[in-house]
Amino acid sequence: MKLKHLLVINAIIALAYALGELFVPATVSSIYGFKDTANPELLLTSRYFGWGLLAVGLICALAANTPASDAKQAIVKALFFAQIVGLIVSLMGTLSGVFSAMGWSAAIIYLFFVLGYGYFWFIKPETA
């Protein structure tokens, strides 16, 4: 797999979840096991999460077709750390019972990206 492909996959997943969290947060929250999806605090928090995913998705989409550079490698490093945090949070939510079994899907997605960005940082970094 090329870094471009990893970034495109990340962009598609992040943008799809961003749209869900921004426009139908109660539906997305219910899929992940939240019971009181009419809670205004939960809806606002979901929309903030959607905003963050929108930013990640756009960064990935815009970086996918750029030539190798120090800036692109910095994006890989930032995404590597961000995906580790996402993995930890999704595991905490799933193992504690806050998330339904769907929490495992989030953990698997984050693990995929941790491994992918780790590969493109440590094993096959792009050079300028």
Q: The tokens 């050079």 sit on which residue?
A: 127
Per the domain annotation, does 72 fall within a domain? yes
Per-residue pLDDT of 10-39, as tens digits, reads 999 999 999 999 999 999 999 999 988 889
Domain ranges, residue 25: 3-123
| Closest C-alpha to 124, from 29, 6, 17 | 6
pLDDT more than 90, % of the chain: 95
pLDDT at res. 117: 98
Residue 14 resides in a domain: yes
Q: What are phi and psi of 72, to 5 degrees?
A: -65, -40
Residues 7 and 95: their CA atoms lie apart, in Å, by 28
CA distance 29 to 123: 37
User: How confident is the model over 49-78, as pLDDT tens digits?
Assistant: 999 999 999 999 999 999 999 999 999 999
pLDDT, residue 99, reads 95
Residue 119 within a domain: yes
Distance CA 47, CA 79 (A): 21
Does pLDDT of 127 surpass 80?
no
Q: How far apart (Å, rounded) are the C-alpha atoms in residues 96 and 57?
A: 28
How many C-beta neighbours within 10 Å does residue 49 have? 18
Q: Using CA atoms, how far apart are residues 49 and 114, in angstroms rounded to an integer?
A: 19
Q: What is the pLDDT of residue 128?
A: 41
Q: Is residue 34 part of a domain?
A: yes
- Whether 115 maps to a domain, the answer reads yes
Is residue 27 in a domain? yes
Token match 């692109």: residue?
72
- Work out the average pLDDT over 116-127: 92
Whether 128 maps to a domain, the answer reads: no
Number of domains in the chain: 1
